A and B are shown apart, each in its own frame.
Chain A
């Protein structure tokens, strides 16, 4: 099977087969990062633009490392270093990037749908590295990879997600990804953080965090954005932690072999207790490691030999 998608914009636009292919390719890529010389020539001569309109450290670094390990030339432009601060429109910026013939544009933007707008205008492959509160497909894919690595499967697992679902692109993509691959996703949060029509996303809404994590195979905690207190979503961090923070008591409700995930950055003591974040159930750092391999797989599939035959990865 050949990978034919030009762009990776969201999970919804990927089929089960395509997701499996990405995950399999990523597993193969992982070994490259463990070699003494962490570099293969696969994407030599390819240009990858990291176009980050929104601040990002981990995701950008992860894409950058992934590009370099495949020998692609990667260059980063951020909002402050680009003409966007001079009032250039997104479409104009993209047209200018296109004129320099990049092979892949990795894009993060504060507006939902911005990568979709650009993907229609450029020949380069567009990989969405997070758009507004819409999607963060590479994060969801690395989460799938990390769970599959630990559990050997996705199908039939209970995934408990707790946090601000309304404003989280990670939550949207994870819900889409895990349900698509056959897991059961249950979410919990203060109702101010649950968007209208949540069930249309394919998940269940738990009455409280306890019933959400009960018998869960995976607990995923989302970062509480402290600046959102101004948006009247919750009264304060102390109360949030008492109702929706992951502590030892709640962790004990889950399956014995539960894994705990978090897309980072952590608010220790708010959505997750420190000893759990650092404890034996946590696979938070595996997520980061797998992120590089997963993004190498995405580059390979959209820009490299994957177009012809992914099985030879």
Chain B
């Protein structure tokens, strides 16, 4: 099976930025051709006989095309932009255990629709993904579905309890791509140090949910003027930033990498910027809501604006944008956190933290390009290349790599309508937002898993 994606502007940061055709054979990128360039590159054989069989160019001597037997498909994507498949480092798919909120199937459908060819589901399922059996269940379920790829994140500590290390090695064999106690910060510094050291030896990235629970306890939104007016207990920036400073110190001590999840405030960006300057191996992500919204979104006790860390102030939002622009923030992840009305149609302080993001991330992030904050290439680095590199994956658009591709329609203008979501949940604060740009085709290993 041979597929030619024709006419798109191909953007693979640091590799390609031009109109190209992509030739895909059996799920892998076969060649990247100039527009209209024939393939296989027909060459007269040196013997000069007209009757000699078709032969491929010397650059591709391993490949011979059986034109008779192979199915050949051309897909016209002219006017579209083709990029390496987007990767979301931070999602919650809720299966096993909370299938009424989301399943691996609905979560992956939402991912495909959002243009994500791979997602990293966090370990806070029920049972917790802290052992190879749960990891295998998740991976097998995703395989059966044949949608976006899944790179599960295993628990860092058994049961996410912060008491003893989970079996990273076993889980790695089963397929985890990283470890994290997302949602439950590891309060014991020695345990965190050991996790960093142990994971380094196994070449597994560690993702830190940085939150000093003694400072954030009972808080439901950002500590500040809006919380004071609404009478909601606050979560100060320091609950996040002070913990990140600890993680940086421990990464330095262990000489091991650490990835900071969902950075939301100015002090955190500043701490990470300084650590990077000092050569400490720290990377981080933020989420679209942190560069799009502020605490004001909570104003009418809207539980769809409740997440952890909380929406901060305009000053913090600007700091996040600056961090994205200057490279301090490496990735945009969604922290896709589906909840049903059972958790959200409640008093604000009793409602669950979290919003969904897979189907809104790309259009919201493209606003950064529209506003001139990021170049399109830089955005794709943050949504595809950098997450890949943190996970240790090479997703360059080069021959031999699996054809994990997102084709983006940059012109599509639409209004975000939660009713249209493929996710099982609807907890988004972005209903009614007017946005531009969305996934047109999402392709994993040569197979179209979503087409608008």
Contacts and interface: CB of A to CB of B under 8 A. Distances in A.
Nearest to A135: B231
Given A113-B230, A134-B230, A169-B231, A196 B347 contact: no
Contacts of A114: 347
Contact of B349 (A12, A89, A112): A112
Interface string A98-128: 0000000000010111101100000000000
Contacts of A112: 230-232, 301, 347-349
Contacts, number: 67
Interface in B180-232: 223-225, 227-232
Contacts of B342: 89
Given A112-B230, A113-B232, A200 B349 contact: no
Provide the main secondary structure of the chain A interface: mixed
Contact of A197 (B228, B232, B300, B345): B228
Contacts of B227: 195-196
Contacts of B301: 112-113, 116-117
Contacts of A197: 224-225, 228-229
Interface string A78-95: 000000000001110000
B346 interface: yes
B323 interface: no
A131 B228 contact: no
Interface string A182-196: 000000000000011
Interface in A267-299: none
B348 A113 contact: yes
A89 B225 CA distance: 29
B224 A134 contact: no
Given A116-B300, A196-B223, A109 B347 contact: yes
B350 interface: yes
Contacts of A133: 231, 233
A201 B223 contact: no
A195 B228 contact: yes
Contacts of A200: 225, 228-229
A198 interface: yes
A89 B346 CA distance: 7
A131 B300 contact: no
B234 interface: yes
A131 B231 contact: yes
Interface string B430-452: 00000000000000000000000
A132 interface: yes
A116 B231 CA distance: 13
B345 A89 contact: yes
B349 A198 contact: no
B310 to A, nearest CB: 13
Contacts of A109: 347
Nearest to A112: B231
Interface string B336-368: 000000100111111000000000000000000
Contacts of B347: 90, 109, 111-114, 117
Contacts of A195: 227-228, 234
Contacts of B236: 196
A121 to B, nearest CB: 10
Contacts of A113: 230-232, 301, 347-349
Contacts of A69: none
Nearest to B232: A112
Nearest to B298: A113
B346 A91 contact: yes
Contacts of B350: 111
Given A116-B300, A117-B301, A197-B225, A90 B346 contact: yes
A133 B301 CA distance: 14
A172 interface: yes
Contacts of A111: 347-350
Contacts of B300: 116
B230 A196 contact: no
A85 B4 CA distance: 63
A14 to B, nearest CB: 15
Nearest to B348: A113
Interface of B: 223-225, 227-234, 236, 300-301, 342, 345-350
13 contacts: A91-B345, A91-B346, A109-B347, A112-B301, A112-B348, A112-B349, A113-B301, A113-B347, A132-B231, A195-B227, A197-B225, A200-B225, A201-B228
Given A112-B347, A169-B231, A200-B225, 17 more contacts: A90-B346, A91-B345, A111-B348, A112-B230, A112-B301, A113-B230, A132-B232, A134-B230, A135-B231, A195-B227, A195-B234, A196-B223, A196-B227, A196-B234, A197-B228, A197-B229, A200-B229
